[in-house]
């Protein structure tokens, strides 16, 4: 498949630019064009629709309607917002540090968009399967911290500076439990490559790393919580706490520059889901045969199915993040730090060492333990749903079951 | 004569590294100096990629950009005059600075000229992570452990210096 794509690119370069420029320059141009196309055709709509969906889901949770005017159910709201923000004046405060103020959104955005390089959407649908994939991901997403600090400082505004400092402290702290949870998975898979990590798992839930043993189940929660904190999501959104800091580090930004920060934030939500899916939920893995059809014989159907499976799994976590944002209050700064350093870092270490010990006992994993972990999780979910149903039955709230207004 | 694109990219990266290093050294604004380190650290990571050292490149970005640069920025921003945006770093003594710079330059030139540079003909782009791990836990176990202990000592020292003694 790889050589076919390379031949295709070669042929395209030859056809479009016959002999005018060297092939290497052609490759570089093609790479830039592809990046541009992916950015406009996939990432921008993804972040946009996520922003709309978040506002709708949130509105339903708060008994409101939410944006429903532009397009069917308001699904084109993000386009209207984009057009509006492009038309707005780009205000730079007179006392701001002009150069850094202008540069900051690009650095945040670069850190976010760089993550898409290693996200595996299918068994061959990955921009670059780096053999240090997950390490690259941790590295490139840390670029956003610098951009946020830059925005906070260059605005020359106390709220912005406080927001930037809070955000940086939070991201740097929560990188540690996140990194330890990732390390747990790396020990299981024995590789840093995103595709390698997925290939080390199976399509069935008991083959996923989340249910590998009880420690990885906890590590999964550690990772998802720290990822939410690194993405500045509620309940960890103190860097832009509206009631305290106006809007934190984005206070002084307006128009398209403002939108760039939020573009990165909403897009980052999907990146979080994608990483979680890759590390813990088996990624794009599908059964080798479905209803007696051998998937290897139908490459296109296989690719589409893999993409669908991966996208559904990762978008589920976007919805979970929205749900969390709609239900949990914001934590205080001291609570945030105490939670990270006093609870999550030690728990992540326990998960790491527990997994190592179990790996020594059962080098190839223990199917019974995996099944037991899966069963326990299913029991918890069933109990949770039963409790919710019980609450609804006994409190007799007026359920309004018409989702479309 | 046709210049291969990787040579062009290399010189671009080198320009970024040297240029931002110059800003670090010459900028009058200490925050600008700190932020310029982003270009230097990132560019050095790109140079590692040119050498085929993928793991080191990623770790360079992770540790230096995500960790050390943020800590430097924190240290700069926690100074008391930071709310004044036109904060500058004064020049303290031109002559001693020039002398120190000249001595350092001499040492560097001597070291560079005296080194027998073994240049690999072809950089092999292959995974290095496992090899690095094996070397750290095999041949270089002792230096690795000593480095870890040194870092631990530095951490404890920092805590000892910064904590407040609570009596009674």
- DSSP character at residue A72: G
Residue A36 pLDDT more than 70?
Answer: yes
Domain boundary among B60, B80, B100: B80
pLDDT confidence of residue B156: 92
Asked if residue B76 and residue B4 are part of one domain, the reply reads yes
Query: pLDDT (tens digit, 9 = 90+) per residue, A81-90?
Result: 888 888 888 8
ipTM of the complex: 0.76
Asked if residue B72 and residue B141 are part of one domain, the reply reads no
Say how far apart CA A298 and CA B149 lie, in whole Å: 55
Q: Is residue B124 part of a domain?
A: no
Domain containing B163 equals: 134-168
- The larger pLDDT score, comparing residue A27 to residue A215, is at A215
Domain boundary among B80, B113, B148: B80
Say how far apart CA A241 and CA A329 lie, in whole Å: 11
- Mutation test of the interface with chain A: which of B70, B76, B88, B127, choosing the one with the most A Cβ atoms within 10 A? B70
CATH code: domain of residue B76: 1.20.120.1200
Query: pLDDT (tens digit, 9 = 90+) per residue, A98-116?
Result: 888 888 888 888 888 888 8
pLDDT confidence of residue A4: 65
Decide: B47 and B17 in contact? Cβ < 8 Å: yes
Burial of A125 (0-12, 13-18, 19+ CB in 10 A): middle
Asked if residue B75 and residue B3 are part of one domain, the reply reads yes
Q: Is residue B102 part of a domain?
A: no
CA–CA distance from B55 to each of A139, A194, A229, B143 (Å)? Answer: 11, 14, 26, 19
Q: Is residue B105 part of a domain?
A: no
- Phi and psi based region of residue A328 (left: phi greater than 0; alpha: psi -120 to 50; beta: remaining): beta
Q: Which of A96, A142, A150 sits opposite B35 (nearest CB)?
A: A150
Domain boundary among B80, B95, B122: B80
Q: The whole model's pTM is what? A: 0.84
Q: Is residue B85 part of a domain?
A: no
Cis bond upstream, residue A195 (ω within 30): no
Q: Is residue B59 part of a domain?
A: yes
How many domains is chain B partitioned into structurally?
Answer: 2
Query: pLDDT (tens digit, 9 = 90+) per residue, B29-69?
Result: 778 888 888 889 989 988 888 887 888 888 888 888 888 88
Radius of gyration of chain B (CA): 21
Q: What residues of chain A, 97 to 136, have a C-beta less than 8 Å from chain B?
A: 97, 99-100, 107, 130-132, 135-136
Q: Is residue B125 part of a domain?
A: no
- Mutation test of the interface with chain A: which of B73, B75, B79, B84, choosing the one with the most A Cβ atoms within 10 A? B73
Q: Is residue B35 part of a domain?
A: yes
Query: pLDDT (tens digit, 9 = 90+) per residue, A285-310?
Result: 888 777 777 777 777 888 888 888 88
Q: Is residue B129 part of a domain?
A: no
Residue (of A289, A171, A295, A191) closest to A238 by Cα position: A171
Q: What residues of chain B, 77 to 136, have a C-beta less than 8 Å from chain A?
A: 77, 82-83, 85, 127, 129
Question: Coil, helix or strand for A289?
Answer: strand
Question: Coil, helix or strand for A294?
Answer: strand
**Number of residue pairs across A and B with CB atoms under 8 Å?**
83
Question: Coil, helix or strand for A290?
Answer: strand
Asked if residue B73 and residue B4 are part of one domain, the reply reads yes
């Amino acid at each position: 498949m790889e050589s076919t794509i390379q031949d295709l690119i070669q042929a395209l370069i030859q056809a479009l630019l016959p002999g005018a420029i060297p092939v290497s320059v052609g490759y570089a141009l093609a790479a830039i064009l592809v990046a541009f196309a992916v950015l406009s055709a996939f990432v921008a709509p993804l972040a946009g629709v996520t922003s709309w969906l978040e506002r709708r889901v949130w509105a339903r949770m708060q008994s409101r309607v939410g944006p429903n005017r532009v397009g069917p159910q308001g699904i084109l709201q993000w386009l209207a917002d984009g057009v509006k923000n492009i038309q707005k004046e780009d205000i730079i405060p007179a006392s701001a540090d002009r150069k850094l103020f202008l540069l900051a959104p690009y650095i945040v955005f670069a850190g976010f968009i760089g993550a898409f390089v290693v996200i595996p959407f299918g068994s061959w649908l990955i921009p670059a399967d780096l053999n240090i994939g997950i390490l690259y991901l941790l590295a490139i997403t840390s670029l956003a911290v610098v951009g946020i600090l830059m925005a906070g400082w260059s605005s020359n505004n106390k709220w912005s500076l406080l927001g930037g400092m809070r955000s940086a402290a939070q991201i740097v702290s929560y990188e540690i439990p996140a990194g330890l949870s990732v390390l747990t998975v790396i020990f299981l898979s024995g590789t840093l490559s995103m595709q390698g990590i997925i290939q080390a798992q199976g399509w069935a839930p008991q083959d996923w790393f989340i249910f590998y043993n009880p420690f990885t189940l906890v590590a999964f929660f550690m990772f998802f919580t720290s990822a939410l904190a690194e993405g500045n999501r509620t309940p960890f959104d103190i860097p832009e706490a509206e009631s305290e800091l106006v809007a934190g580090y984005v206070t002084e930004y307006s128009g398209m520059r403002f939108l760039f920060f939020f573009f990165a934030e909403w897009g980052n939500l999907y990146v979080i889901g994608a990483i979680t899916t890759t590390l813990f939920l088996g990624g794009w893995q599908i059964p080798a045969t479905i209803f007696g059809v051998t998937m290897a014989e139908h490459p296109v159907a296989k690719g589409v199915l893999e993409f669908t499976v991966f996208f559904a799994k990762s978008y589920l976590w976007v919805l979970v993040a929205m749900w969390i944002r709609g239900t949990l209050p914001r934590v205080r700064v001291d609570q945030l730090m105490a939670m990270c350093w006093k609870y999550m870092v030690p728990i992540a270490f326990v998960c790491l060492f527990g997994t190592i010990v179990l790996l020594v006992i059962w080098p190839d994993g223990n199917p019974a333990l995996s099944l037991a972990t899966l069963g326990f999780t299913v029991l918890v979910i069933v109990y949770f749903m039963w409790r919710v149903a019980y609450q609804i039955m006994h409190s007799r709230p007026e359920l309004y079951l018409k989702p479309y207004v | 004569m046709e210049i291969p694109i990787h040579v062009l990219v290399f010189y671009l990266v080198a320009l970024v590294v040297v240029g931002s290093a110059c800003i670090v050294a010459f900028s009058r604004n200490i925050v600008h100096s700190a932020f310029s380190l982003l270009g230097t650290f990132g560019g050095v990571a790109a140079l590692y990629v040119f050498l085929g050292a993928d793991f080191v490149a990623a770790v360079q970005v992770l540790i230096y950009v995500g960790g050390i640069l943020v800590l430097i920025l924190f240290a700069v921003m926690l100074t008391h005059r930071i709310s004044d945006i036109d904060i500058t770093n004064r020049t303290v003594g031109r002559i001693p600075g020039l002398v120190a710079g000249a001595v350092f330059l001499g040492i560097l030139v001597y070291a560079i000229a005296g080194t027998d540079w073994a240049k690999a003909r072809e950089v092999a782009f292959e995974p290095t992570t496992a090899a690095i791990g094996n070397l750290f836990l095999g041949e270089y176990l002792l230096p690795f452990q000593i480095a870890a202990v040194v870092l631990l000592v530095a951490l404890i020292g920092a805590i000892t210096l910064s904590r407040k003694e609570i009596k009674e």
